[in-house]
Amino acid sequence: MTSVVERLQGQSPKFSVEFLPPRDAEDEKILWKAVRELEGLDPAFVSITYGAGGSRRDRTIRATGRIAQETTLLPVAHLTAVDHSVAELRNVIGWYAAIGVRNVLALRGDPPGDPMGEWVAHPEGLNYADELVSLVRELGDFCVGVAAFPYGHPRSNDLDTDLKFLLRKLNAGADYAVAQLFHEPEPFLRMRDRVAAAGCSAAMLPGIMPMLSARGLSKIVELSGADLPVEISRRLEPYADDAAGFRATGIDIATEMCQKLLDEGVPALHFYTMNRAKATREVLGRLGLVARA
């Protein structure tokens, strides 16, 4: 199977997409509709998350396998250390390898129930993402990605500490990092440049989620761990009671940010889709990376 690193090579900008694991049969239909819509756009890779606290990991594993076996897409398997013994992790990694999945996103994961709660490792498990990276590397010829946090991980005391942990993951054998959400290009670009200045050449991919509604914006702010910049608030404020205007402005903001990132040489844009294809298609179309939606 092709690796993510191989798919990111070349001059033309690339993009990738992330989906959520389905909660039920209806969710699965929505997921597969988005998968099929985006398949024709030839993303560099697609991934399905483990769900909050690993809550839907069985569905994640099945859906990742189905993508590998039934589509032309390159799947990246999410894997977390949450509630897993090392033996269980070995079994999951081995199952992925058996069906031809050779790309893994290795994450420590958040405590189940409360993402900001105290982390308690499985008594026979792992404590840190770099340990998971090392384990995956030991078990086969995998291409491994990790998470990065432009504003710093919520548990990091400062950006310097956060950089040290990111470098530990990359130096453990990770090939690339996918960034958590951010509101404007500069925090991501500063993080990327600091990684490069530390002598690490791993690819850094920005995570993008267009601001499509007031409710969605609240979730983006929560996930990013940073307040919305004043300028973006001012642009969205006139559309508080205008859903169509809010969405259109959110697409504008996302497109402008993506163009700045491409101008700065990012190898790919990673879209958090929430299992919908339309917004991703719109932004990519405006950027000229696919036919206009």
Looking at residue 188, which CATH number applies to its domain? 3.20.20.220
Question: Per the domain annotation, does 292 fall within a domain?
Answer: no
What is the number of domains present in the chain?
Answer: 1
Q: Which pLDDT does position 103 carry in this prediction?
A: 96
Give domain status of residue 203, yes or no. Answer: yes
Whole-number Å distance between alpha carbons of 249 and 258: 14
Q: How far apart are CA 219 and CA 45, in angstroms?
A: 24
Q: How many CA atoms lie within 13 A of 190 on its CB side?
A: 13
Predicted local distance difference test score (pLDDT) of residue 6: 96
247 within domain boundaries:
yes
Tell me: pLDDT of 143 over 80: yes
User: What is residue 21's predicted lDDT score, i.e. its pLDDT?
Assistant: 86
Q: Could you read off the pLDDT of 17-65 as tens digits, one per residue?
A: 999 988 888 999 999 999 999 999 999 999 988 765 455 667 888 889 9
Beta bridge partners of 147: 178
Is 60 exceeded by the pLDDT of residue 172?
yes
pLDDT at position 155 is 80
Which of 58-72, 75-89, 111-125, 192-206 shows the lowest per-residue confidence on average (mean pLDDT)?
A: 111-125
Q: How far is CA 232 from the centre of its chain?
A: 23
pLDDT mean across residues, the chain: 92
| pLDDT-derived band at 157, boundaries 50, 70, 90 | confident
CA 223 to each of CA 27, 146, 181, 182: distance values in angstroms, whole numbers, following the listed order: 22, 17, 7, 9
Q: How far from the centroid of its chain's Cα atoms is residue 153's Cα?
A: 14
Tens digits of residue pLDDT in 90-133? 999 999 998 889 999 999 987 665 656 677 778 898 999 999 99
Please state the pTM of the whole predicted model: 0.93
pLDDT, residue 24, reads 87
Confirm if 34 and 7 have CB atoms less than 8 A apart.
Answer: no
Residue positions annotated with a catalytic role: 18
Domain assignment present for 233? yes
- 12 CB-contact burial (10 Å; exposed 0-12 / middle 13-18 / buried 19+): exposed
Please count the CA atoms within 13 angstroms of the CA of 24 that sit on its side-chain side.
Answer: 1
Show the domain range for 139. Answer: 4-287
Q: What is the pLDDT of residues 212-255, one digit of tens each?
A: 999 999 989 988 889 999 999 999 999 999 999 999 999 999 99
Q: What is the pLDDT of residue 235?
A: 97
The pLDDT confidence band at residue 192, using thresholds 50, 70 and 90, is very high
Question: In which band, very low, low, confident or very high, does the pLDDT at 173 lie, cut at 50, 70 and 90?
Answer: very high
Q: Is 52 exposed, middle or buried (0-12, 13-18, 19+ CB in 10 A)?
A: middle
Residue 293 belongs to a domain: no
- Quick check: 77 pLDDT over 60? yes
Classify residue 120 by its DSSP letter.
Answer: -
Number of Cβ within a 10 Å radius of residue 229: 12
